[in-house]
Structure 1
Amino acid sequence: MVIQPSSKIKVPEENFFDVPAFLTVSGQLHLEVMSGAFTQVFTFGPTFRAENSQSRRHLAEFYMVEAEMSFVESLQDLMQVMEELFKATTEMVLSHCPEDVELCHQFIASGQKGRLEHMLKNNFLIISYTEAIEILKQASQNFAFTPKWGVDLQTEHEKYLVRHCGNIPVFVINYPSELKPFYMRENEDGPQNTVAAVDLLVPGVGELFGGSLREERYHVLEQRLARSGLTKAYQWYLDLRKFGSVPHGGFGMGFERYLQCILGVDNIKDVIPFPRFTHSCLL
C-alpha cells in the first residue's frame, strides 16, 4: 500500500519498526501464542490480501473471524466447532433480524430462504481432498481448470462439489502438504504426504472457512521451516515449541463471504460499505 505524503510531512527513510512490516493477512500465529495461555481465543478484525483478482468473492481488505484452541487433537473436533459456529450465528441472525434477511431473500435472492433452512437442518458432509478430486474427474461438467491430485481446488470445483453433495455444506480435509502453509500438521500417511487441513465449502460461495491442526512437534516444524527458507523469519514461532507444546488447531471465516452465503448476495463487493480491491481503493 502506497500513501502519497503531504508536502508538510517528512517521511523517514528508515523503517518505522526498524524492520520491514506489512499489513497482516491473518492474526493466526499470534493467536497461537495466546491459546497457550488461555486455551480458547478468537479475534475479529480487518485482514489484507494483495491478490490480483476481480472475482465476485475476493477483496483486498476484508474482515475475518479467527479462532484458536488448545488440546484439539483431531479435525473432527475442529469441524464440530466450525459447523456449530455457522449454525448458531445464522440462527441468531434469523431470530434477531428477520426483516432484513427477508428483504434480501425477497428482492435479491429468490429461493435463498429454503436453501438456508436446508443447510441448517442437515449435518455437514465430510470428504477428503483425494475423494474430491475423484468426484471432479468423473463430473460431466467441463471445467476451465482441469482437476488433478496435487493442484488446488478452484472456485468452479468448490461450487460443483457442493452441488454434488446436495447443496449441503461440505468439509474437504487432508490436502497435499505442498498446497498448504508450513504451520499445518503433517499427517502420518506415508507417500501421500498430506496435512490435517480443512476447508468448508458452502452453496453459492465456495470456500467459507479454512483451518487446520497446527504442527506442534518441534523437529517436524523445524525441518519444514528450513526447507522453506523461513527459519530466520519464524524463529520466534518455532521457539514456542522448544520446551514442549500441546496439540492445537484453529480456523478463519471470512465475514463478507458469510454474509454472501446467508443473504444470497452474488458479489462480495455488495456486502461491505467500502469495497477495496485491485485498482480500487477509496480513501
Structure 2
Amino acid sequence: MLGVRCLLRSVRFCSSAPFPKHKPSAKLSVREALGAQNTSGERIKVQGWIRSVRSQKEVLFLHVNDGSSLESLQIVADSSLDSRELTFGSSVEIQGQLIKSPSKRQNVELKAEKIKVIGNCDAKAFPIKYKERHPLEYLRQYPHFRCRTNVLGSILRIRSEATAAIHSFFKDSGFVHIHTPIITSNDSEGAGELFQLEGTYDEWTLQDTKLLWMSQAFTQVFTFGPTFRAENSQSRRHLAEFYMVEAEISFVDSLQDLMQVIEELFKATAMMVLSNCPEDVELCHKFIAPGQKDRLEHMLKNNFLIISYTEAVEILKQASQNFTFTPEWGVDLQTEHEKYLVKHCGNIPVFVINYPLAIKPFYMRDNEDGPQHTVAAVDLLVPGVGELFGGGLREERYHFLEERLARSGLTEVYQWYLDLRRFGSVPHGGFGMGFERYLQCILGVDNIKDVIPFPRFPHSCLL
C-alpha cells in the first residue's frame, strides 16, 4: 500500500498529469489561513515567498510568507516533487487542502495539491541569507529586500497599525482630516532647513505642513503626511524625509488642554498597536530592544510630568554629568539635555513648557511675563528619543503679531497671517509629532532609519 500511495503522489505532482477537478480554491492570505476556523479539508490558494525548505524521506516541508503575518504557513508536499526551483526567496502559488497540523508548532498546515513557481530566486546570490540574522546596519544596504526579513516585516506591520490607530484616534475625537500643501512660499518655523526648488518653482520651498490657517475655519483639524528637512545630520534621530502628525485646535487658551490631547494620543495609539500586533511588538522587544517592554508599560501606566523650561535648565546646571553643550537659559535644549531630563524624571515622558520667545517660532503666544519673555510653547520628551512632540498656543492678538513681524521685517511675507487675526480670530493651539520617532520610542529601535521603508538622509537616497 505504501508503494501505491507514493505512486499516486508522484502522479499528482507530475507536471504532465491533469490537475484533479475540484471546486475553485478560495484565495487567502497567510494570516487568514493561519486563523481559519474550518480546517476540515477546505481547499484554498495562497501566494507568497518561500522562507524555508526542508526535505524528508517522503515529505517536503515549505514555509511560505506573504507579509501579512509574522508566522509563516507550513506547506506539506510529496517528496517526489521536483524541488530544484523551490528555493529560499522564490515566489510561489500553492493550492491544496487546509488541515489541522499534527505538530505543536502550528495549528494548521496546507496539504499541497499544486505548487507553481512564479519567480525563481538564486539563493546563493540573494543578499538575504537563509537562517542568518542580519544586523539592521547590513539590511539598510538593501531597502528593496529588507522587508522580507522578520524584523523589518514586523516593524512595517506595526507602522501600518500605528497609522490606522492615529487616524482612528482623531476621527473618534471629532477632528477633520485636512490635506495641506507640502510646497509653500513660507518658512513657518523660521529654521531655514528648507529645500530650494529650481526652475519655474524657484520661489517655492519644501517645509513642514502646518495647519495654523485651517484653525480659523474648523475647530479641530489634523494632517498626517511627508515632511522634508534640509538638515545636514547623520544622527540616529534625523531624516531628510519623514512623516509628521500635526493637529490644531481652536478655542483653546490653555497648554494643559493641549498636553492632555498629546498624552491621550500617545497612549491610545500605543495601546492599539500592542493589542493588534502583539507578536510583531514582542519580536522587536525581544531581539532589538530587550527591556523595552517594561519601559513602555512604565510610560503607559504613569501620568506624564510637567516642568518649565526654566526648571529644566536649573536641573541641567545642577547635574553631575558633563554635557557637550553647556546648558544655559535662552539656548535651546540639545538631545543630550532632553535625554538627561527624562532620566532625571524617572524615565516617564515629561512636558517642558514656557520657552524663551527667541528660540521659538514667531506665532507662539506671548506669556507677558516681564524680562524673561517666554511663550506658551511645549515639547514632550520621551525615553530613548528626546523630543517627540512640539507645539504650543498661537498668538491670536493682532497687535502682538504685527509688532513681532515688523521687528523681523516679515510683515509683507506674512500679511495673509495677519489677515487671519483681523477677520474673526480665535485663540488656538496645536502640535506636531514625528511619526518615525514615535515608532522608535514604543519599539526601542535605536536608529530612525530602521522604522521607515526607504530612509532618506544627506548623501543617501538609495532607490
Q: Is TM (by shorter chain) over 0.5?
A: yes
| CA apart distance, 1:267 | 0.5
Query: Which residues of 2 match residues 233-272 of structure 1 at below 5 A?
Result: 233-272=413-452
Give the direction of change, closer, same or farther, for the CA distance of 1:97–1:33 in structure 2 (3 Å limit). Answer: same
Q: Indicate the SS of the match to 1:41.
A: strand
Query: Which residues of 2 match residues 86-235 of structure 1 at below 5 A?
Result: 86-235=266-415
Greater helix share, structure number: 1
| CA apart distance, 1:32 | 2.2
Give the direction of change, closer, same or farther, for the CA distance of 1:2–1:50 in structure 2 (3 Å limit). Answer: closer
CA distance in 1, matches of 2:196, 2:313: 41
Structure 2 match to 1:8:
none
| CA apart distance, 1:243 | 2.6
Q: Say whether 1:23 aligns with 2:206.
A: yes
CA deviations on 1:204-259 (whole Å, 9 max, x unpaired) are 00000000100100110111111122111111111100134111000000000000
CA distance in 1, matches of 2:364, 2:448: 28
| CA apart distance, 1:2 | 8.1
Whether the aligned pair in 1 keeps the contact of 2:234 and 2:458 (CA below 8 Å) is yes
Match of 1:85 among 262, 265, 273: 265
Query: Which residues of 2 match residues 50-89 of structure 1 at below 5 A?
Result: 50-89=230-269
CA distance in 2, matches of 1:230, 1:251: 23
| Structure 2: gaps of 5 or more residues | 1-194
Q: Larger Rg: 1 or 2?
A: 2
Larger RCO, structure (CA 8 Å, separation 6 or more): 1
* Larger displacement relative to structure 2 (262-271 or 32-41): 32-41
Q: Indicate the SS of the match to 1:212.
A: strand
CA distance in 2, matches of 1:202, 1:2: 32
Write out the 4+ residue segments of structure 1 that deviate beyond 2 Å after TM superposition. none
CA distance in 2, matches of 1:245, 1:220: 13
Paired amino acid for 1:176 = P
RMSD value over aligned CA atoms? 1.4
Greater strand share, structure number: 2
CA deviations on 1:10-63 (whole Å, 9 max, x unpaired) are x9x5x24xx701112x222xx222222220000000011111111110011100
Provide the TM-score with structure 1 as the length reference: 0.92
CA distance in 2, matches of 1:77, 1:2: 37
Paired amino acid for 2:352 = V
Whether the aligned pair in 1 keeps the contact of 2:248 and 2:429 (CA below 8 Å) is yes
Q: Indicate the SS of the match to 2:358.
A: helix
Q: Indicate the SS of the match to 1:237.
A: helix
Give aligned-pair identity as a percent: 84
Whether the aligned pair in 1 keeps the contact of 2:216 and 2:420 (CA below 8 Å) is no
| Structure 1: gaps of 5 or more residues | 4-10
CA distance in 2, matches of 1:188, 1:2: 36
Paired amino acid for 1:22 = T
Paired amino acid for 1:23 = L
Give the direction of change, closer, same or farther, for the CA distance of 1:233–1:168 in structure 2 (3 Å limit). Answer: same
CA distance in 2, matches of 1:229, 1:51: 25
| CA apart distance, 1:131 | 0.1
Q: Indicate the SS of the match to 1:32.
A: coil
| CA apart distance, 1:101 | 0.6
